[in-house]
Amino acid sequence: MTSKHDYFKADCSKNEPEILVAHSNGEQFYRCKNCNYFGTIESFTKPFHTFEILQQH
């Protein structure tokens, strides 16, 4: 399975998220130690499906 990190940062050798910031509402954001990809933990762990790419008209 490919996560958003793996899809958008295909040249990154490792998917190593570390917590970067925690919002007051409990939401946490992470960045990859290797490539600085930024997102929620789901960006690093949940499967990415190509239909999620926004199509431009």
Higher pLDDT, 26 or 1: 26
Other Cβ atoms closer than 10 A to 45: 14
- pTM of the entire predicted model: 0.79
Q: What are the φ and ψ backbone dihedral angles of 39, each rounded to 5 degrees?
A: 175, -175
CB 7 within 8 A of CB 51: no
Q: Which amino acid is at 37?
A: Y
What are the tens digits of pLDDT across the range 3-36? 999 999 999 999 999 999 999 999 999 999 999 9
